Amino acid sequence: MSAERLIAPLDPTGEADISRAWTIPCDGIAVSVGWTPNSSQLSQAGVKFSYDDKLHQLVPVSSPAGVFPAGKVAGVHLLSDQLLDGQRAGLAAAKYLGQYDGELPAQPRHAGPPPSHPYPIFKHAKKKNFVEMDEDLHLTDFINAHQEGYDSVELMKRYKHGGHGPQPGQAGQPQCDAHSRPAQRQVD
């Protein structure tokens, strides 16, 4: 038995534009919510991240001494820029170790359209707002946990068991956005 699903494009702010919605007959819908670079080791090392609306990803905003994020995890996506960013990070590490005393080049910045999709979690007044399907987690679960003082991604994951279902790890990454974006703050 086939059902109909409502599909809507996003407006410039990333919200569903219901005025331009249409229905399609289907049994299910698969959605790509973009990708997320693997930042777990950086997070464990003490790097703090913040959601960048221009890139649609979390990017490092501060790092402890001796930690030098580079490449896609730092919001650098063009291969030629990634090579320059790797060189910059290597020189920064050498300087930290006292093996380089020259000037450090500036970190390359992404130019052009975002390399990923916008924030994929939308509030809906009549439906549940799922953030992670494996564990049946809703947007309000993360907002409530944040209000209760769970202020890091690792604590949030343990509190809500996010990313621990049949598809652990990257499948639960939108919870980072769910945690950081409502609070409009950096995450660690």
3-12, 46-55, 73-82: least confidently modelled range: 3-12
Give the pTM: 0.61
What digits encode the pLDDT tens for the residues 54-88?
A: 888 889 999 999 999 999 999 999 999 999 999 99
The count of other CB atoms within 10 Å of the CB of residue 168 is 13
Strand partners, 16: 10
Q: How many helices (H) and strands (E) does the chain have?
A: 5, 6
CA dihedral 133, 11, 187, 174 (to 10 degrees): 20
Q: How confident is the model at residue 47 (pLDDT cuts 50, 70, 90)?
A: very high
Domain spans in the chain, listed from the N-terminal domain onward: 1-30, 121-188
Query: Between the CA of residue 97 and those of 61, 74, 143, what are the distances in Å?
Result: 22, 22, 41
**Distance between CA 180 and CA 59 in Å, rounded?**
12
Mean pLDDT for the chain?
77
